[in-house]
Structure formats: C-alpha cells, structure tokens
Chains A and B, each alone.
Chain A
Amino acid sequence: AQSVTQLGSHVSVSEGALVLLRCNYSSSVPPYLFWYVQYPNQGLQLLLKYTSAATLVKGINGFEAEFKKSETSFHLTKPSAHMSDAAEYFCAVSDHGSSNTGKLIFGQGTTLQVKP
C-alpha cells in the first residue's frame, strides 16, 4: 500500500531564503507523486508532478522537486521564498497499484510561513 510522510508540520523561512519541504513515500509500484498547494478556504492547486520521466521536476511559481528512489523521497524546493508562498503544502502519491483507481494518498501537510 502507498503512503506519504511529510516531515515538519510547520516550516518558517525569511523572505528570499531557500524553501525546503520534505516528503517521503512508500509504494509497492513505481510511484506517481504530486505536490499541491492550498490557500485558506480554497481547493488544492497542482504545483508539480512526477510520473516516471525526469527525476528533477519543475513546477509553477519557481518550485521544483527531485525524485530520489534510493531515499524514497520527493522533497519540494524553491530558491527564494516570496510572501505569497505562505500556504499549506501537500505531498501525495497515486494509488495505481492494487485498486488502480488513481486515488491520491496525501501527507498531513506542511504549513509554510514566510517572514518579511
């Protein structure tokens, strides 16, 4: 069965500093991995996806993530934080193995705070 663990429920950075949000996954099949962002009282917006192509994935708003099979990780980074990046971030793995529905299994989320 697939699962996701996000290390750190809250991350605080200064504006302009590096953003690093950690995600580790468990999957019995080659994983499809996603990062989503959620602003208050809104749905989830896709930042980027990994579906077995390039291991370094570039997404929107300057975010990128690197798939490391040996470490079962898919950490999200951004070189320079902006105030507008403050939000909740979710890592997710797709269940396309046993049930083949493609349902997403989410981590518990990381709240990113950006200080001026």
Chain B
Amino acid sequence: DTGVSQDPRHKITKRGQNVTFRCDPISEHNRLYWYRQTLGQGPEFLTYFQNEAQLEKSRLLSDRFSAERPKGSFSTLEIQRTEQGDSAMYLCASSLMIYQPQHFGDGTRLSIL
C-alpha cells in the first residue's frame, strides 16, 4: 500500500493562468474523490469518480473546473483562468467500497498571486 499520491505539493500561479493537478490513488481503489479545503475549514466535496466515470459534481465545481480519470487509474483536476478565490488546498482521496474509509493524499496547495 503506497498510499494516495498528489502532485505537485505546492503550486503558485498568477491570476488568469491555468493549472492542473494530478492524483494517483491506491491501485486497487475504484472510487476517487476530490475535495477543496480553505484555511480553517473542513474539506468540501468537489467531484467523485467510480472507475473512469465521473458520477457526481458539486455546485462548487464551476465551469472553469474540469476533472478526468482516464482508464480509471490516475485523475487530473484542471482549473482554467484561475481566480483569487481558487486559493486552497486540493485534496484527493480514494476508497475501495462505499462503507470503507477514504484514504487521503497530502494535497496540492494552490496560491494565486
């Protein structure tokens, strides 16, 4: 069990630029989740994949956000035309079954200049 891996750990970019984050879940886990965490708050759900299918998206996920999970393995989260309000920690988690705990990566911290 190598754990959930996220890359990069930190991303600093200028407002208006596009950014992409990657998540590698635990290999046998077919469920993959993205969350966003702002300072002093609990994580908030963004989107969920079961294998390669994106089955739910939060209202937090505006049109500037897109996520993919090709072939049901790693996942990417892209933010286009970044805004100041996008500054947050983006967390990825995976699990095997619905009643089993989600395992989290260390997150990608996004800072918008």
Interface of B is mostly: strand
Considering only residues 64-113 of chain B, those with a C-beta below 8 Å from chain A are: 91, 93, 95, 98-99, 101-107, 109
**B102, A104: Cβ atoms under 8 Å?**
yes
Interface residues of B, count at CB 8 A: 28
CB-contact partner of B43 in A32, A41, A44, under 8 A: A44
**B42, A102: Cβ atoms under 8 Å?**
no
- A96 is an interface residue with CB less than 8 A from chain B: yes
Docked Cα-Cα span, A45 to B102, in Å, equals 9
CB-contact partner of B107 in A36, A43, A101, under 8 A: A43
Considering only residues 62-116 of chain A, those with a C-beta below 8 Å from chain B are: 90, 92, 94, 96, 99-109
**A101, B99: Cβ atoms under 8 Å?**
no
B103: chain A residues at CB < 8 Å are 46
Docked Cα-Cα span, A84 to B7, in Å, equals 27
Docked Cα-Cα span, A101 to B53, in Å, equals 12
Chain B CB within 10 A, most for which of A42, A99, A104:
A104
Tell me how far the C-beta of B92 lies from the nearest C-beta in chain A, rounded to whole angstroms.
8
A sample of 14 cross-chain residue pairs with beta-carbon separation below 8 angstroms, ordered by A number, consists of A42-B107, A43-B6, A43-B91, A46-B101, A96-B99, A101-B50, A101-B55, A101-B56, A102-B31, A102-B95, A104-B43, A104-B45, A105-B45, A106-B42
B residues with a Cβ closer than 8 A to A are: 4, 6, 31, 33, 35, 40-45, 48, 50, 55-56, 91, 93, 95, 98-99, 101-107, 109
Interface pairs A-B: 3 shortest CB-CB: A106-B42, A43-B104, A102-B98
